[in-house]
């Protein structure tokens, strides 16, 4: 899990719940589905999915005082759940921190039920290459094609990968995508108010995510 999370993100943010709702709607995930958040950090998305009617659990490499979250270093250990357990496996801002993303995706596949859904979100290398290694623990950069191929090579079905803005107003009004495209021209230094405080509209207009998915 990215240690920058504690520095740059307010754990009172409404963003996690908004993203969870968007994903549930986009992928038609039903109430009561069993979901695992891999690399869940302090559990913001576990909480977000739970509030929206999903039975959510998580794993992370550091201990968390939440009985829904188990400690697991996925670079070294197997996911501590039986095979064919979850309807959905979700992971955000995690696979780029791994030494062996292929092994991790195979583990995620193992714990998914047949026809279960994998959702992977990770920073887009092409839009963020100049500042990518500002994240000192970034190890495995991905392009849109590279992430899609990783998931295809682990034999998921119906694999797709989109470029994704972390801006909720774009999810609701896709025709406004011209706004972040214009903002993205601004200098990188404007992404930050000071060393620890970012400007979300500018930062997430410039730095896109990859959103990939596939079915077991």
Whether residue 47 is contained in a domain is answered as yes
Q: How many CB atoms lie within 10 A of CB 178?
A: 8
SS3 101: helix
Domain annotation covers residue 184: no
pLDDT for position 64 = 82
Quote the DSSP letter at residue 133: G
Distance between CA atoms of residues 116 and 40, nearest Å: 19
Report if residue 182 sits inside a domain: no
Structural domains in the chain (count): 1
Helix/strand/coil for 171: helix
Domain that includes residue 50, residue range? 5-167+209-215
The burial of 78, by beta-carbon neighbours within 10 Å (0-12 exposed, 13-18 middle, 19 or more buried), is given as: exposed
User: Would residue 41 count as lying in a domain?
Assistant: yes
Pairing verdict, β 55-60 and 69-71:
parallel
187-196 burial: b if 16+ Cβ within 10 Å, else e? eeeebeeeee
pTM of the model: 0.92
Whether the CA torsion 96, 102, 104, 110 is positive or negative: it is positive
Going residue by residue through the chain, which has 216 residues, state the pLDDT in tens, using 9 for 90 and above. Answer: 443 344 444 556 789 999 999 999 999 999 999 999 999 998 999 999 999 999 999 999 988 889 999 999 999 999 999 999 999 999 999 999 999 999 999 999 999 999 999 999 999 999 988 888 888 888 899 999 999 999 999 999 999 999 999 999 999 999 999 999 999 999 999 999 998 888 999 999 999 999 999 999
In a domain, 183, yes or no: no
Determine whether 136 is exposed, middle or buried from the number of CB atoms within 10 Å of its CB (0-12, 13-18, 19+): exposed
Query: Is 172 within a domain?
Result: no
Residue 176 lies in a domain: no
Residue 11 is predicted with a pLDDT of: 54
Using DSSP bridges, classify how beta strands 55-60 and 34-38 pair: parallel, antiparallel or unpaired: parallel
Q: What is the CATH number of the domain that holds 15?
A: 3.40.50.150
Directed axis angle between helix 44-51 and helix 15-26, to 10°? 60
Among residues 183, 91, 94, 90, the alpha carbon closest in space to that of 135 is found at 94
Residue 131 lies in a domain: yes
Contact (CB, 8 A) for 5 and 42? yes
């Amino acid at each position: 899990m990215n240690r920058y999370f504690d520095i740059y993100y307010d754990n009172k943010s409404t963003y996690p719940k908004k993203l969870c709702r968007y994903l549930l709607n986009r992928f038609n995930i039903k109430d009561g589905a069993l979901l695992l958040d891999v690399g869940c950090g302090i559990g913001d998305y576990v909480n977000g999915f739970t509030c929206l009617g999903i039975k959510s659990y998580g794993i992370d490499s550091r201990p968390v005082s939440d009985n829904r979250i188990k400690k697991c270093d996925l670079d070294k250990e197997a996911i501590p759940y039986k095979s064919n357990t979850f309807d959905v496996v979700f992971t955000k801002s995690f696979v780029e921190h791994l030494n062996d993303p292929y092994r991790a995706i195979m583990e995620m596949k193992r714990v998914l039920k047949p026809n279960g859904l994998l959702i992977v979100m990770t920073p887009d290398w092409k839009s963020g290459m100049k500042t990518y290694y500002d994240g000192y623990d970034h190890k495995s950069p991905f392009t849109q094609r590279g992430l899609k191929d990783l998931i295809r090579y682990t034999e998921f079905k119906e694999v797709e990968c989109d470029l994704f803005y972390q801006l909720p107003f774009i999810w609701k009004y896709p025709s406004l995508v011209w706004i972040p495209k214009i903002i993205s021209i601004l200098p990188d230094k404007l992404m930050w108010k000071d060393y620890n405080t970012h400007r979300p509209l500018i930062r997430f207009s410039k730095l896109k995510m990859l959103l990939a998915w596939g079915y077991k």
